[in-house]
Structure 1
Amino acid sequence: MKKSNLVKEFVDQVISMSDYTDLDRIYLTNRVLRLVGDEALHQQTSSGDLLDLKAELVKTAQVAGKCGTSNNEADILEAQLMELIVPRPSVVNWRFWQTYQDSPTQAINDFYTLSKSSDYIKTRAIAKNVYFVTPSEYGDLEITINLAKPEKDPKEIAAAKKQANHSYPLCQLCLENEGYLGRMAYPARSNHRVIRFQLGQEDWGFQYSPYAYFNEHCIFLAAKHQEMKIERQTFERLLTILEQFPGYFVGSNADLPIVGGSILTHEHYQGGRHDFPMAKASIMTKLSFRGFTDVTAGIVKWPMSVIRLRSSKKEQLVELANKILTTWHTYSDETVNVRAFTGETPHHTLTPIARMHDDQFELDLVLRDNQTSKQYPDGIFHPHPDVQHIKKENIGLIEVMGLAILPPRLQDELHEVEKYLLDKPNKIKSIHLAWANELKTDFEINPKNVTQILQTALGQVFVRVLADAGVFKQTPQGQAAFLRFVQTVGIE
């Protein structure tokens, strides 16, 4: 391919993808040189892709000493370069809501496209993730090994510890992240934009997740920095979001440690355009709640404990969901180790997920219990020690719905397990030996089937992980206990 000037090619791309015109060319050139150094004027390129050009400019800046070599420093410069194609927040919001008047779907699509083209959504990094589907008795489950988000550089961690404590932004979900430069051990957000909207009487924001775990993975966040709380208002908000953002599901992590998500200090929900395995799961026990004739309900065939409610009447759904929540807050059943409190410490909450189904609101309520014990110090209803070689982290909203987010370490570790299964020289970790030996015993393994066997086995481990997190187990005793709970709520 014919060579061209790197800076000129990058500026050409910026002009073609932004509000800038050819009259801005000199200005843009100087903006780029301000970031990467004048040496870039002499660089040639054979690329015509904006992201490739951006990467070449970062390397040029690193050689010139304008940018450090750590991942964090490179990310900060990359975000500054990509911000050149992103309008200022007021313009992004004005365009969104102008388009929304005619087509909410188009407004959402346009914002999603902008978030990808500006590299705020790290599409190339996300493509590195390992993903496959594996069958189970609960339907096909989704497995990912998350390779998109780079591991933190030890040098960055050490440098961050030397820095003074920062209180701005207060957390990574605050609106103050919009346009924030970034710093050691804190992400670059120069190219980040947030759509403002009203949720009831409150100010909220809508943005996408940079390292998306599923299609159009987005975040709805409170403008005010406040702790997460599952309450009646949660159900009202979730169902309202369904109306305001058509085509998306929306759900919330639980609001207690162990069973909650990674950020409990800022009220937020996650959503997107994805059909999760749990949404496809069937009802195994139909329920009819007294006083709620307009709501169909049932216990979902799922390894966790899920009550599904469906109705066209929002208020009825909110009332019943809140009744289930308040009952669960104080419900105990010692026969199955379910305890609402230890002293004054609460253990019960919900993971709620809302979606539209055949023009009706559908609300899944997943019962959560965050007790610990001497036998299970990480959590009684948490992945137990024998499966923690695969998944030790909290089971949050996304895993609850049937998409496993497995740690990056597993890519190399599972490769060694494959070699062990094939009796090849290997460096298998001791934590995987018992599991690998079981597979050797149960299957005739050869080079053609080893990957499929391992993937299926991972799926079965994930079923166990979810079952461990399930409060009422999929056993006669567990399901009888589940029915005792819903009877307490009030069924006919």
Structure 2
Amino acid sequence: MSIPIYQEIGRLLQYGLQKGLIEKWDVDYVRNQLLDTLGLKDWQESEIPEEQLDNPSSILENMLDWAAEQNLFTPNTVTNRDLFDARIMGHFVPHPSTVNNHFKKLAREKGIEQATDYFYQFSQDVHYIRTNRVQKNMHWLSATPYGDMEITINLSKPEKDPRDIAAAKKDRTNYPECVLCKNNVGYAGRTNHPARQNHRIIPLELNGDQWYLQYSPYVYYNQHAIVLSEAHRPMKINKKAFENLLAFVEQFPHFFIGSNADLPIVGGSILNHDHYQAGQHDFPMAKASIKEYVTLTEYPAVKVGILDWPMSVIRLQSDSKEDLTNLAAHILQAWQQYEDPTVEILKETNGVPHNTITPIARRRNDLFELDLVLRNNRTNEEHPMGIFHPHAEVHHIKKENIGLIEVMGLAVLPGRLKDELEKLVTYLALPDYKARIEQDPETSKHVQWAVELMEKYDKVEITKAILQKELADKFRIVLEHAAVFKKDAKGKDAFCRFYQSLND
């Protein structure tokens, strides 16, 4: 059946009016822009159904199907569809200066929280945040000895089509330098780089340097934001980074902000552009309690504690940003030079450093708070992917890097687990469950886990809810593997030696 393209254009114009993206004086102009993008030379009036839509995805899908039939892009892959729908929605997005001025006006007159609320909703309305995909993610909370862990199975990022992968290999363009550079704003994109016509960023200053705030197109939590430097430079954890994090939460007290570590294995996926992640969300780690307080004699104004958390975390609190920054820099410098071979901690191999920190900042009423997560990226023959990295025994669940989000207690697990868990529930109800799981290529990796589950839940039907609970426990083990100081007596003694050394 032929898609009524003129009706879909009318629906999209109606959506833009309802969301305040355009006004009635803009309708003819935007319509003509859409006609040009779609290769249409005229306009035909159509009856537009009255509707209120949260996002434009249903309209865009129809328009993309029509555009593919007209060979406006080829092949008809997810990547090419994403490039084309950003081009369509770009006609509804004001110039960056207009968005920036409105943000500043809201912040000045109604407060910074109202301003970020506006920008977050705007980013969804213009389809930069693809709400229809984000809603596909599975998400739940599960109790562990460290409190509730958040578990997400990531279903929002579509898999790459082999045709797109082949096309991307031929593309040698290096502009913009990376997906975080500020000159992505308005960029049309290409097979190996996302389109950004519907993307806007908010300028802000941190300690005299130019930075920008944007939202992640695939949000993992409420107002999942990226704070990026104007300069395309590698990430670096140092005293300046701590100053920046604290300066940010002073300006945005309703947000947390943190940084991935700056070394491979323990760092995030993008190490070539200095950036932080922020948002309005209380992660499980933020709710964790202090297990033991520590006295650092040279910093009496800072409260120091060891967090009751699967990873090795030192929490600092003070009403003085300067004291907090100075102590954090002291701990970083001490950790970078620290070695304890009894627990596999070496500071370097042939001059290549291993020790760094994942820092997270937030406001706690009138106090500034910094969590410093100690990291080490050593490898050895037994653990070639990392000694303080998910070990082979949990790779059936998670073997990717443990970055900032996971450190704070939100598991971002691969989409394959959705179907695999559903199959496991079915197989575990059968008398020959082990053979069924082993014979299925999608579930064979889970056979040892399945045996453990059947022993643990003897004669009890293993449901989806039980698997979700056990998955959270696997994530707890993943974080314990990433801890530089383990939770056993040997690890606790080693942690004690490190923080006592801070007084030397």
TM-score above 0.5: yes
2:238 aligned residue: 231
Paired residue for 1:55, among 57, 61, 65?
A: 61
Paired residue for 2:325, among 302, 318, 328?
A: 318
Moved more, 355-364 or 375-384: 355-364
Is 2:497 the partner of 1:484? yes
**Secondary structure, aligned partner of 2:144:** coil
Aligned residue identity for 2:283: F
1:475 aligned residue: 488
2:448 aligned residue: 434
2:17 aligned residue: 15
Matches within 5 A, 1:235-250: 235-250=242-257
Distance 2:375 2:8 in 1: 54
Distance 1:115 1:225 in 2: 24
TM-aligned CA deviation for residue 107 of structure 1: 1.3
Runs of 4+ off more than 4 Å: 39-47
Distance 1:98 1:430 in 2: 57
TM-aligned CA deviation for residue 446 of structure 1: 5.2
Would the alpha carbon gap of residues 43 and 339 (structure 1) be closer, same or farther in structure 2, given more than 3 Å must change?
A: farther
Deviations for 1:383-431, whole angstroms, at most 9, x for unmatched residues? Answer: 0001011100000000000000001111112222222211176635221
Native 8 Å contact 2:11 2:49 kept in 1? no
Aligned residue identity for 2:503: G
Distance 2:101 2:494 in 1: 52
Native 8 Å contact 2:422 2:464 kept in 1? no
Aligned residue identity for 2:123: S
Moved more, 368-377 or 290-299: 290-299
Native 8 Å contact 2:142 2:150 kept in 1? yes
Distance 1:355 1:323 in 2: 20
2:35 aligned residue: 33
**Secondary structure, aligned partner of 2:219:** coil
Is 2:435 the partner of 1:395? no
Paired residue for 1:141, among 124, 136, 149?
A: 149
Would the alpha carbon gap of residues 266 and 47 (structure 1) be closer, same or farther in structure 2, given more than 3 Å must change?
A: farther
1:457 aligned residue: 470
Distance 1:226 1:336 in 2: 33
Distance 1:77 1:337 in 2: 51
Moved more, 217-226 or 102-111: 102-111
Paired residue for 2:7, among 5, 8, 17?
A: 5
TM-aligned CA deviation for residue 109 of structure 1: 1.2
Moved more, 406-415 or 30-39: 30-39
Aligned residue identity for 1:7: I
Count of residues in Structure 1 that have an aligned counterpart in Structure 2:
487
Distance 2:476 2:347 in 1: 25
Distance 2:116 2:153 in 1: 28
Deviations for 1:297-337, whole angstroms, at most 9, x for unmatched residues? Answer: 11101110000001111111001000000000010011111
Aligned residue identity for 2:120: Y
Native 8 Å contact 1:7 1:41 kept in 2? no
Is 2:115 the partner of 1:107? yes
Distance 2:21 2:471 in 1: 48
Distance 1:415 1:145 in 2: 13
Aligned residue identity for 1:437: V
Deviations for 1:260-309, whole angstroms, at most 9, x for unmatched residues? Answer: 00000000000101111111111111111111111111110111000000
Moved more, 80-89 or 472-481: 80-89
Distance 1:446 1:88 in 2: 60
Gapped runs of 5+ residues in structure 2?
none
Deviations for 1:133-188, whole angstroms, at most 9, x for unmatched residues? Answer: 1111111101111001111111100111122x121010010001111111112211
Would the alpha carbon gap of residues 342 and 28 (structure 1) be closer, same or farther in structure 2, given more than 3 Å must change?
A: same
1:125 aligned residue: 133
Distance 1:388 1:19 in 2: 45
**Secondary structure, aligned partner of 1:128:** coil
Distance 1:44 1:170 in 2: 45
2:189 aligned residue: 182
Native 8 Å contact 1:18 1:85 kept in 2? no
Would the alpha carbon gap of residues 115 and 364 (structure 1) be closer, same or farther in structure 2, given more than 3 Å must change?
A: same
Distance 2:204 2:141 in 1: 36
Alpha-carbon RMSD across the aligned residues, in angstroms, is 1.9
- TM-score normalised per structure 1: 0.95
Deviations for 1:413-458, whole angstroms, at most 9, x for unmatched residues? Answer: 22222222111766352211011111011103655x5112211111
Native 8 Å contact 1:37 1:64 kept in 2? no
Q: Sequence identity, in percent?
A: 45
Is 2:180 the partner of 1:173? yes
**Secondary structure, aligned partner of 1:149:** coil
1:216 aligned residue: 223
TM-aligned CA deviation for residue 124 of structure 1: 1.3
TM-aligned CA deviation for residue 126 of structure 1: 0.6
Native 8 Å contact 2:379 2:387 kept in 1? yes
**Secondary structure, aligned partner of 2:147:** coil
TM-aligned CA deviation for residue 53 of structure 1: 1.9
1:356 aligned residue: 363
Distance 1:8 1:401 in 2: 45
Deviations for 1:100-129, whole angstroms, at most 9, x for unmatched residues? Answer: 222111111111111111111111111100
Moved more, 46-55 or 188-197: 46-55
Paired residue for 1:193, among 191, 200, 208?
A: 200
TM-aligned CA deviation for residue 240 of structure 1: 0.5
Would the alpha carbon gap of residues 124 and 344 (structure 1) be closer, same or farther in structure 2, given more than 3 Å must change?
A: same
TM-aligned CA deviation for residue 246 of structure 1: 2.4
TM-aligned CA deviation for residue 40 of structure 1: 8.6
TM-aligned CA deviation for residue 78 of structure 1: 1.1
Distance 1:286 1:117 in 2: 46
Native 8 Å contact 2:30 2:92 kept in 1? no
1:299 aligned residue: 306
**Secondary structure, aligned partner of 1:151:** coil
Paired residue for 1:65, among 66, 71, 80?
A: 71
Distance 1:212 1:20 in 2: 25
Distance 1:249 1:240 in 2: 11
Native 8 Å contact 1:227 1:265 kept in 2? yes
Deviations for 1:78-99, whole angstroms, at most 9, x for unmatched residues? Answer: 1122223221101111111122
Distance 1:302 1:23 in 2: 56
